[in-house]
Amino acid sequence: MAKNRFSKAWIHAHLNDPYVKQAQQRGYRSRAAFKLLEIDERDQLLRRGQTVVDLGSTPGSWSQVIRERLAGPGGVIDGRIVAIDILPMEPVAGVDFLLGDFRDDAVLAEFERLIACPGQDPATVQVDLVVSDMAPNLSGVGLADAARMGHLAELALEFSERHLKPGGALLIKCFHGSGYSQIVEAFKRVFVTVATRKPKASRDGSAETYLLGRGLKARG
* Rounded distance between C-alpha atoms, residue 34 and residue 28, angstroms: 9
Q: At what angle do helices 33-43 and 18-26 cross, to 10 degrees?
A: 90
The residue annotated as part of the active site, out of 165, 173, 198, 200, is 173
Q: What DSSP designation does 135 have?
A: -
* Rounded distance between C-alpha atoms, residue 187 and residue 194, angstroms: 7
- The length of the chain in residues reads 220
CA dist 30 → 33, 60, 82, 136 (Å)? 6, 8, 19, 17
Specify the DSSP element, H or E, that contains 40. Answer: helix 33-43
Which residues make beta-bridge pairs with 203? none
* CA angle in degrees (0–180, nearest 5) for 199-204-209: 40
Q: Is 173 a catalytic residue?
A: yes
SS (H, E, C) 78-118: CCEEEEEECCCCCCCCCCEEEECCCCCHHHHHHHHHHHCCC
Residues involved in catalysis: 173
